[in-house]
Amino acid sequence: MRKIVLGVFCLLLAGVAQAQTEAELKAALAETKDSIKAIQGRADAIQGQIDALPGWKVGAFGVIGGSLSNFSNWYAQGLPNNSSGTIGFTVNAFANLKQEKFFWRNAANVNLSWVKLDDKDDPTDNDSFREAVDVFNLSSLYGRKLSEKFAISALGEYRSTLLNNFNNPGYLDLGVGGTWTPIENLIVVIHPLNYNFVFSDEEDIFESSMGAKIVADYTRDIGAIAFKSNLSAFMSYKSGDLSNWTWINSFSYTLWSKIGVGFDFGLRSNKQEALNYAINTLGDTGATFDNIDNDLQTYWTLGLSYKF
């Protein structure tokens, strides 16, 4: 009996010791996390001071995604013998010059992807990779500072595609006005004098015009997270049918070294493109600006990211 009591006592003692050890380890872990957070805060503060220094700041981050598959005699699906694949990437790059009396901000966004579906039982189908996403944007903004938060500025922005119908249509905005920087990393451009050049073979649909240009761009790195949001809008003075806007958002979370997970999505509204698609792709010869459905254009990309 005495041995049993002694054994139970030893087990209880071991349990208490283990509980104390676990509590001590958890307390040490909490202290370590607090220390890491404090170190990261100091590092972010130093990085903010570096970013505020005059001179060039250059960087880029992007998303890479893809998949390949092959099926043979997989009778449960509609195409038992097929091979398919998707490949795509997104690159967001910038080169910004900051000086005491002026700034010059340059940015590029490229989003391309290809898809294929080869039905091996159909020798007439298209078995090659075809363009799926095709986005190409370039912008250059120069500003002469009147104060720390406001500048007189000039903007040039070009938007088109690279893989299919390059510069057909293509949009070139050139204008002057003011740029406001209310907080760090946020740029708001308001240019009441802007000309929107539109390049296209369909001159009866696409038309250049004078209007106002508004751009809002927010780009920031917070620890392992990098993100960029850019809204570009043109409001035509001639007709609302010639107005358009594009909103592109990019996120990247670094998991290891420079590799992580990235997500991009974009929204666009452009009535000229909607009318061109209805007439020249769908064959709707009766489509006009008055009866066309200007559906919201969207895309998104999810995949591995690499921070340059």
Interatomic CA distance for residues 297 and 134, integer angstroms: 13
Do 66 and 149 belong together in one domain?
yes
The pLDDT value recorded for residue 92 is 87
How many CB atoms lie under 10 A from the CB of residue 234?
26
Closest to 207 in 3D by CA, of 297, 133, 282, 275: 275
C-alpha to C-alpha distance for 100 and 258, rounded to whole angstroms: 32
Compute the average pLDDT of residues 286-299: 91
Total count of domains within the chain: 2
* Cβ-contact 262, 252 below 8 angstroms: yes
User: How far is 229 from 264, CA to CA, in rounded Å?
Assistant: 10
CATH code for the domain of 299: 2.40.230
Q: What is the pTM of this model?
A: 0.77
Range of the domain at 286: 55-307
Query: Are 28 and 69 members of one domain?
Result: no
Q: Dihedral angle at the C-alpha atoms of 144, 150, 154, 155, nearest 10 degrees? A: 130
Mean pLDDT taken over the chain: 85
Average pLDDT, integer, range 284-305: 88
Higher pLDDT, 150 or 88: 150
Helices of type H across the chain: 2-52, 271-280
| pLDDT band with cut points at 50, 70 and 90 for residue 194 | very high
Res 308: pLDDT: 64
pLDDT at 146 exceeding the cut of 90: yes
**Residue 8 pLDDT grade (very low, low, confident, very high; cuts 50, 70, 90):** very low
pLDDT at 15 over 70: no
Q: Reply yes or no on whether the pLDDT at 163 is more than 60.
A: yes
Domain ends where: 53, 71, 89?
53
Give the span between the Cα atoms of 34 and 287, in whole angstroms: 63
Domain shared by 95 and 18, yes or no: no
Distant-in-sequence, close-in-space partners of 34: CB < 8 Å, separation ≥ 6: none
Per-residue pLDDT, 224: 84
Contact 283, 237 (CB under 8 A): no
Compute the distance between CA of residue 151 and CA of residue 122 in angstroms, rounded to an integer: 61
Shared domain for 283 and 296, answered yes or no, is: yes
Whether 210 has a pLDDT exceeding 90, the answer reads yes
123 and 48 together in one domain? no
Q: Phi-psi category of 98—alpha, beta or left, where left has phi over 0 and alpha has psi -120 to 50?
A: beta
Contact 217/248 with Cβ under 8 angstroms?
no
Q: Is pLDDT at 209 greater than 90 in this prediction?
A: yes
Nearest to 140 by CA among 96, 99, 174, 105: 105
User: Residue 38: which pLDDT band, with cuts at 50, 70 and 90?
Assistant: low
Bridge partners (DSSP) listed for residue 23: none
Give the chain's largest Cα–Cα span. 103
Contact 66, 302 (CB under 8 A): no
- Strands 259-270 and 102-119: what pairing? unpaired
Does residue 181 sit in the same domain as residue 297? yes
Do 280 and 250 share a structural domain?
A: yes
